[in-house]
């Protein structure tokens, strides 16, 4: 491991790897990425991996539009296919959630994202397995699809290394040494790396990294559990988009031969690496309400993924006032894979150019929480 670098990135999840790659692409090649375990060991390796334009806020739509275009030429740029598979997204609106879902659809259309409204009769005809008697409508976006997290991390890893980036696995960052207010070095279990720039892409550990420079990063680590059923013929492959049950806040999509179910934002004392089977019993009634056939199908396996959420559910991204050289890229809330191209781009622009250029940085800076 090198003892000096222009930039040290803490964390080799997808955002850390994207930052390293984009730094190299902008001419900052003297970069070291330190990862306490292995590439994708945190939430990046446990993502349900959707690429979506049918998202919930204006900033998410704008980020997704950029990332969609980047992923469509990912193989050309990085030599690895993101394994994009177009399946579409269907958001289900009950009478209670209908006003909110209508407003979201109108916002997306205003920003140039196409969508269709499907009435309950349409839903019953297209998806006989769905319970529809309490639904007002569905909103369908055809362009959304599945991407492969491991392929994307492989692409960014290989791309970063082509630019001379060193990626060190099994080296845990233990502190940041400062010279006055300036960054001087990152301390690791494998030795010290002298540097003037640190990128905090530590995921669930981002708040701990912030404390090393006296910064309070308000991250709330939540766990989303993902379950995959046994064979589920009631939901045919060719007819199943990613289905978001807005009122109950869970989703499913086909995962041959069964279905993949994602549910919950559960707080746990320690971020789980396995699956919380007790939670399945607690919430399965939501699944059966919308998909009655699920009552007769077993669960084959599952996993949990950490969602590191900021108070306003926007990422904490960019420099920190009073700590020159310290850059955050954390609090992605489960969207780190989907928005990896833009996250890495904005970090790299901040370091290479002195400020982010692709999007204004102010809505994502840590300072928005001042005085909270």
* Number of folded domains that form the chain: 2
Instruction: Please report the pLDDT score of residue 133 as a whole number.
Output: 95
- 96 and 213 housed in the same domain: no
- 350 and 249 housed in the same domain: no
- 197 and 260 housed in the same domain: no
- 134 and 234 housed in the same domain: yes
* Both tokens assigned to 269: 């004392």
Q: Give mean pLDDT in consecutive 10-residue pieces for the chain, a chain of 372 residues.
A: 97 97 96 95 73 97 98 98 96 95 97 97 94 96 96 97 97 97 97 98 96 97 89 88 89 92 69 67 86 94 88 97 97 95 98 97 96 68
Q: What angle do CA 75, 145, 273 make, to 5 degrees?
A: 90
Instruction: Please report the pLDDT score of residue 223 as a whole number.
Output: 83
- 304 and 239 housed in the same domain: yes
229 forms beta bridges with: 299
Distances (CA, A) of 95 to 225, 246, 292: 27, 11, 20
Domain containing 249 equals: 89-142+221-309
- 97 and 213 housed in the same domain: no
Instruction: Please report the pLDDT score of residue 372 as a whole number.
Output: 64
- 282 and 339 housed in the same domain: no
Instruction: Please report the pLDDT score of residue 271 as a whole number.
Output: 44
- 320 and 338 housed in the same domain: yes
- 125 and 17 housed in the same domain: no
Instruction: Please report the pLDDT score of residue 334 as a whole number.
Output: 87
């Amino acid at each position: 491991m090198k003892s000096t670098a222009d930039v040290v990135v803490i964390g080799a999840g997808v955002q850390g790897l994207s930052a390293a790659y984009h730094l190299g692409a902008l001419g900052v090649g003297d970069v070291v990425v330190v990862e306490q375990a292995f590439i994708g060991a945190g939430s990046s390796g446990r993502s349900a991996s959707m690429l979506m334009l049918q998202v919930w806020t204006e900033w998410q739509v704008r980020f997704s539009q950029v990332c969609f275009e980047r992923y469509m030429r990912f193989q050309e740029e990085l030599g690895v296919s993101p394994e994009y598979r177009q399946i579409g997204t269907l958001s289900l609106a009950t009478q209670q959630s209908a006003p909110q879902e209508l407003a979201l659809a109108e916002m997306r259309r205003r920003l140039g994202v196409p969508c269709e409204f499907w009435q309950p009769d349409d839903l019953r005809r297209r998806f006989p397995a769905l319970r529809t008697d309490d639904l007002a409508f569905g909103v369908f976006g055809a362009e959304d699809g599945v991407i492969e997290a491991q392929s994307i991390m492989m692409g960014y890893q290989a791309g970063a290394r082509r630019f001379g980036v060193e990626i060190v696995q099994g080296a845990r960052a233990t502190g940041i040494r400062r010279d006055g207010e300036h960054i001087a070095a990152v301390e690791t279990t494998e030795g010290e790396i002298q540097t003037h720039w640190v990128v905090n892409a530590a995921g669930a550990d981002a708040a701990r990294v912030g404390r090393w420079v006296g910064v309070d990063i308000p991250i709330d680590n939540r766990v989303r559990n993902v379950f995959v059923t046994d064979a589920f013929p009631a939901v045919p492959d060719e007819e199943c988009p990613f289905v978001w049950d807005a009122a109950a806040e869970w989703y499913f999509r086909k995962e041959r031969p069964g279905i993949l179910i994602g549910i919950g934002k559960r707080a746990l004392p320690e971020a789980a690496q396995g699956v919380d089977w007790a939670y399945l019993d607690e919430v399965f009634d939501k699944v059966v309400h919308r998909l009655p056939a699920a009552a007769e199908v077993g669960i084959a396996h599952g996993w949990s993924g950490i969602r590191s959420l900021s108070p306003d559910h926007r990422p904490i991204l960019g420099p920190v006032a009073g700590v020159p050289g310290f850059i955050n890229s954390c609090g992605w809330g489960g969207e780190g894979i989907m928005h990896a191209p833009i996250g890495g781009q904005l970090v790299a622009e901040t370091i290479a150019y002195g400020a982010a250029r692709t999007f204004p940085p102010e809505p994502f800076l840590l300072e928005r929480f001042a005085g909270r």
